[in-house]
Chains A and B, each alone.
Chain A
Amino acid sequence: MPHIALPEHLPGITGLLEYSRVTAEPIRQLTQFILRGENSLSPAERELIATIVSHQNECRFCTAAHTAAADLLLGENETCEVMKQDIDAAPVSDKMKALLKLAKQVQQGGKAVTAESIANAKAQGATHTEIHDTVLIAGLFCLYNRYVDGMATVAPADPQFYTGLGQRLVQYGYNRLPNGYDHLKKQAQPS
C-alpha cells in the first residue's frame, strides 16, 4: 500500500503525477523532451537507457513499463531481455553498448562515472550531446525509481497492464493526457 493516499485506478508513477500536478509538470516536460524530443538517439535507444537504470534500481514498475515501451518501439523483446543480463551480448550498436554502460555507472552514483567509460563512448562515436543526454536520462530515472518505490506505489502483477501502459507511452509520450485519466477507472475494476 502506498505511504500516502493516491488514486487507486492509477498505480505506479501515474498516481503520483496526478497527486501533485504542479511538480509533475516540469518532470513531464523534461521526460517528453529527453525521451521523445529531437535527438540523434532513437526513442527506442533512449527507452533502453531508462530500462537498464530502472532494472539496476530494481524498480519493478518502471522496469516493466519501459521494457514494454522499448519492446514496442523495437518490434521485438529480445534486446531488453539480453541487455538486462549482459550489455555486451545485446543486439545493439557498439556506441549504444558504451552508453548503456555509462548509464549503469550513473545509476551507482555520479562519481562512479570513469574517464575510461567516457573515453570509450567517444571512441565508439558518441557525441557530447549523446553523452550528456545519457547521463541526464540515467539521472532522471534515479529520480523516478526513488519516487515510485520511496512512496511504495503499487506495481500491478498482471503483465497485460504494462503492455497497455507501453502502448500509451509509445502513442502519447510523457505529456499528461489532454483529458486526464478518469477513463482508466473502469478498466481498473476487477472483471
Chain B
Amino acid sequence: MAHIALPDESLPGIVGLFHFRPETAGPLQLLAETLLRGESPLPSGERELIASYVSLLNDTHFCHTSHGSAAMAHLGYDLSLIDDIKDGFQKIEVSPKLRALLNIAAKVQKSGKAVTDEDIAAARAEGAGDKEIHDTVLIAAAFCMFNRYVDGLGTWAPEANEAYREMGQRMAFTGYVRYPVKADVAEV
C-alpha cells in the first residue's frame, strides 16, 4: 500500500499518483511528452531507453519496465528484450553515440557533478551535438525525479514484463498527456 491514501489503489506506479493530484499530473505528463515524444535529434526509442536505463539504476521497477516496454515498442523489439537493458545492452543495437550518451545518463543518475568534461568529449567524438547532450542530461535528471516520486510514496508495481506490454505501446504511440493541462498555471 502506498504511503498516502490514493483514490484508486489498483492503479500502479505514477498512474495512481496522477489521480491523487491532478494539478501536478498535468505538468508531469506534459514533461514526459515533450522529453520523450517531442522534437529532438534523438529518436523516441533511444530516449525511452535512456529513461528505462536511469530508472533501472534508481531501482524503480515500474518506470524501468514501463519505459523499457515503450522503448521496445518504438524500436520494434520483442518485449523480452527489456531484460537486455539489465544485461548491459548485449542484444539491443546501441550505436557508439548512444552508448556515450547512456554513460552520461548514468553519471547524472549519481549526481550532476559526476558528469566530466571527458564524458562530454567522448559523446561529441561519436557525433553527439549540444541538443543531444542537453536532452540526455535532462531526461536522466527528470527520471531522478519521477523515480523518487514513484518510490518515495511507496506505490506498487506489477512484476512481469508482460503486464507492461499495452502500457508501453500506449506510451509510445498515444503519448503521455491524458489530462487537460491547466492553461492558467503558467504563461508560455
- Residues of A at under 8 Å CB distance from B? 3-5, 16, 19-23, 25-30, 32-34, 37, 57-59, 105-106, 109-111, 113, 115, 118, 128-129, 131-133, 135-136, 138-140, 142-152, 174-176, 178
Q: What is the distance, in angstroms, from B77's C-beta to the closest C-beta of chain A?
A: 27
* A115 partner residues in chain B, CB cutoff 8 A: 3
* A4 partner residues in chain B, CB cutoff 8 A: 130, 133-134
Q: Are A32 and B185 in contact (CB under 8 A)?
A: yes
Interface flags for B1-37 (1: CB within 8 Å of A; 0: not) read 0011100000000000100110110111011001100
Q: What is the distance, in angstroms, from B124's C-beta to the closest C-beta of chain A?
A: 9
B186 part of interface (Cβ distance < 8 Å): yes
Q: Are A25 and B186 in contact (CB under 8 A)?
A: yes
B141 part of interface (Cβ distance < 8 Å): yes
Q: Complex formed: what's the CA distance from A106 to B94 in Å?
A: 32
Q: Are B134 and A20 in contact (CB under 8 A)?
A: yes
* A136 partner residues in chain B, CB cutoff 8 A: 21, 24, 149
Q: Which residue of B lies closest to A153 (CB)?
A: B112
Taking CB atoms and an 8 Å cut-off, the chain B residues in 111-155 that contact chain A are 111-113, 115, 117, 120, 130, 133-135, 137-138, 140-142, 144-154
Q: Which residue of B lies closest to A127 (CB)?
A: B4
Contact A143/B187 with A30-B27, A59-B112 known, Cβ cut-off 8 Å: no
Extra A-B contacts (6), CB below 8 Å, given A23-B138, A142-B144? A5-B130, A29-B181, A58-B111, A136-B149, A146-B140, A151-B134
Q: Are B115 and A110 in contact (CB under 8 A)?
A: no
